[in-house]
Amino acid sequence: MSKNPHVKPLKGFDPKSALEVDESFVRLLKRGDDMLELSPEDASLLSGNSKSGKECGMLRTGGAIHSSFTKFELESGRTVFAACSIKGEVLLFEPDGDAMKEILKYSVQGSIYRDPVYIDGILYCVTREGVAYAAETGLDEEKSGAGSRPGEIIWQKKMEKGIFTSPVVKGKVVIITPADGIYAFDAFNGPDRKIGEILWGVSINGVLSTPVISSGMLFAGTEEKRLLAFDYAGNRMKKMWEYNLNGACRAMPHVSEVSGQVVAGTIEGAVFSLTRENGEFRWNFQVKAPVLSSVISVNTSAGEIFFFGADNGFFYALDSRGKKLWEFRTKGKIRTEALVNEGVVYFGCEDNTLYGLDIRNGKQVFRFQADGNIYTRPEVHDNRLYFCSTDGYIHSVYL
């Protein structure tokens, strides 16, 4: 019988090798599928901790929490957290094993969307309506004002414009940045305290990013597509340079002390890197989606890595020259500042999920599902991860 040239010969069939099933979870991860979803049980297998990714505590608040969450250490060694809701409730608590012990609760008029700051027993917060508040916490007995009780508002200031940024504390000065400028107020809390006394102000139209202060310089982004740099001292501020961006800069710029870069994202979908001292352009990275997540960086044995998320649902890792190392796809917008802890970068998302990725390759190693969007930067304490959600709860999850 002649061979048909259009028919390929059959290969031998080996049922042992052809029907072999590889049930290795590690091999599954190596496929490079960035949408592979881990259950808490899967994540605990990777971490070696059977509790990893499991919730250990919840604390209910009076309303949705957007980006208002911070951790601070007291001189006594206690760790305290502060969370603020969009209804104006301020809640302070401290970890107590798996529980969260409420210390103080009070309310202000207005909606709080940004992180509060703490210094010398006083907690500062701001509202979108343009009011800055300072409240006694009672956590610093030596500096608590005579006659002041915990939760008492000891100073408030109505600014001309709304405040869409977090207050910043440097030394004994608190910086407030409404939509029309940058203002410095006295934060000294002592026998002759003058909390709230204005030190100086700089009028700037359309300031929308939380400023960052680093090595005697202050950096802030504006709605008018500019990144500004100032020579900063507690009693004055002088403009040094500005750079025109391709869009409004609404997230806090990041300053790298390792490479001397100032890195900031825009709502037009670009991340810019400039030289800290003179504003000289270094590189930009095109995302093509708004970047409202503050950039962070970490120095590793392989070099410095920059991390941020975007409204297209991707989380990115770049090297110090702006080259993409990896990306990870989620199911929602990412507008949180990330946190790096022991080789894992954690961030929240509008798909109600808190993710943890291996910083080396972007593989998912941690996942927790909440009942609301997550905008707060997570915080770590005693092998637990703390964060807030628009579901109105403060969550703690085992690492």
pLDDT at residue 158 greater than cutoff 80: yes
| Averaged pLDDT for residues 317-344 | 98
pLDDT at residue 41 greater than cutoff 80: no
| Averaged pLDDT for residues 173-181 | 96
Sign of the dihedral defined by the CA atoms of residues 374, 380, 381, 384, in that order: positive
The answer to whether residue 124 sits within a structural domain is: yes
The answer to whether residue 213 sits within a structural domain is: no
Residue 192 has a pLDDT of 80
The answer to whether residue 309 sits within a structural domain is: no
**Contact at 8 Å (CB) between 266 and 225?**
yes
The answer to whether residue 107 sits within a structural domain is: yes
pLDDT at residue 20 greater than cutoff 60: no
Number of domains in the chain: 1
pLDDT at residue 261 greater than cutoff 70: yes
pLDDT at residue 30 greater than cutoff 50: no
For 331-381, write each residue's pLDDT tens digit: 999 999 999 999 999 999 999 999 999 999 999 999 999 999 999 999 999
The answer to whether residue 192 sits within a structural domain is: yes
pLDDT at residue 391 greater than cutoff 90: yes
Taking the C-alpha atoms of residue 278 and residue 260, their distance in angstroms, rounded to an integer, is: 11
3-state secondary structure of 117: strand
3-state secondary structure of 247: coil
pLDDT at residue 27 greater than cutoff 90: no
pTM as predicted: 0.87
Closest listed residue to residue 322, CA positions, set 275, 271, 368, 395: 271
The answer to whether residue 122 sits within a structural domain is: yes
Residue 164 has a pLDDT of 95
The answer to whether residue 190 sits within a structural domain is: yes
Closest listed residue to residue 364, CA positions, set 329, 397, 399, 390: 329
The answer to whether residue 293 sits within a structural domain is: no
Across-strand partners of 165? none
Cβ partners under 8 Å of residue 190, min gap 6: 143
Q: Which domain holds residue 167?
A: 63-205
For 63-81, write each residue's pLDDT tens digit: 999 999 999 999 999 999 9
Cβ partners under 8 Å of residue 150, min gap 6: 104, 136, 137, 138
CATH number at residue 171: 2.40.128.630
Taking the C-alpha atoms of residue 59 and residue 76, their distance in angstroms, rounded to an integer, is: 24
